[in-house]
Amino acid sequence: MRRRHFIAAASMAMPVLTAGTLTRIDYDTVSDTLVSKAMLAMLSMQRMAWEQGTASQALIAIGRRDLAILFAKDAMVRQTAEGRLGILGNDPGVTDPASNGEAVLLAWKETGEEKYKKAADLQYEYLKTRAPKTSDGVLHHVTYARQVWSDAAFMAPPFLALMGDFDEAVSQIEGFRKYLMDPDKKMYYHIWDEEKKDFARKKFWGGGNGWTAAGIAKIIDLLPESREDLRGKMTIYGKEVIDGCLAYMRTDGLFHDIIDDSDSFVETNLAQMLAFSIYSGIKAGWLGLSYKEKADIMRLAARAKVDDYGIVQGACGSPGFDRSGTSTEAQAFFLMMENASQSL
């Protein structure tokens, strides 16, 4: 299965990055060997654009801004002329590269160097004016096909919100929801093909639903108090996908890779993604404390999957993401889940 891709762009909007946005628990002061091992394992993994971006966001979450800035430097070194950040080879990603934007904006904020601001602006401009989209303005996920993927909900919309474009961030989530969400099960199918007017992958992939829940949670955290209209919508969207997935949680706290298909392998990362989203939602006040019990069960199940080297086992694994294995994103969400759990 060909896997995610993102694009970069430029902007007129001023980033809304604030100290409050990025302040997280510093694990240098927290005694958790598992977290330290998981971070080192993540740093040792090879990374494509979305993996670089997701890993950098995890580093920001656990307080390692120094490392996140280093990630931003290399994502910028590999920025294409059109604006896509962190591109290796002929990566066809439209939305994946934007996941690097948070670290690039952090680097600008911390160093004051305009090159980072210019890189973020270029990534934003790409998304707004150059990236391929559906006829109604929803971002395609790759350049080689006119397709909408659930992965994209985490990749581009949070960056758009960081750039201050809250309406566009929410509009993109609504577009993904329009094309991909099943109204009965409240979960997202993986891939819609605009040209075929049909699903290219009509499966409730765990990873795709996890990306969606986490992307929505991040956007809600970024919305200003003055945009209660958008927060109300996003709260509904966040609750529905979380509730849709939780209906299929196994007794061990994990999920099947295809959520409603018990013949697919048991997978670790969706539990981490949902736990992160739930802890974030409880802290932000859009989820009730009643959700914490299930998040805690998922968190403990995921922690039990971390081996002696700090690698999260049993995730939907790279490079093909079609079998049980390991991945940078699983490492990243372990870190983000752990940080979010400590914030309550």
Report the pLDDT value the prediction gives residue 251, as an integer from 0 to 100. Answer: 98
Q: Tokens for 23?
A: 């302040």
Report the pLDDT value the prediction gives residue 32, as an integer from 0 to 100. Answer: 78
pLDDT of 289 above 50: yes
Q: What is the pLDDT of residues 171-188, one digit of tens each?
A: 999 999 999 999 999 999
- Measure the CA–CA gap between 97 and 72, rounded to whole angstroms: 11
pLDDT of 298 above 80: yes
pLDDT-based confidence at residue 18 (cuts at 50, 70, 90): very low
- Measure the CA–CA gap between 2 and 15, rounded to whole angstroms: 32
- Measure the CA–CA gap between 259 and 246, rounded to whole angstroms: 10
DSSP state of 7: -
pLDDT of 216 above 80: yes
C-beta separation of 256 from 305 below 8 A:
no
Classify 24-342 by CATH class: mainly alpha
pLDDT-based confidence at residue 24 (cuts at 50, 70, 90): very low
- Measure the CA–CA gap between 97 and 141, rounded to whole angstroms: 10
For residue 37, the Cα-to-chain-centroid distance in whole angstroms is 21
In a 13 Å sphere around the CA of 249, the CA atoms on its Cβ side amount to 27
- Measure the CA–CA gap between 326 and 140, rounded to whole angstroms: 26
Place of tokens 């005694």: 31
Q: Tokens for 91?
A: 């990566």
What burial letters (b/e) apply to 42-51, b meaning 16+ CB within 10 Å?
Answer: bbebebbbbb
Listed in sequence order, the DSSP H helices in 256-327 are: 269-284, 292-303
CA neighbor of 12 nearest in space, from 97, 84, 117: 117
Report the pLDDT value the prediction gives residue 1, as an integer from 0 to 100. Answer: 45
pLDDT of 279 above 50: yes
Q: Output 275 or 27, whichever has higher pLDDT.
A: 275
Q: What is the mean pLDDT of residues 45-73?
A: 97
Average model confidence (pLDDT) across the chain: 92
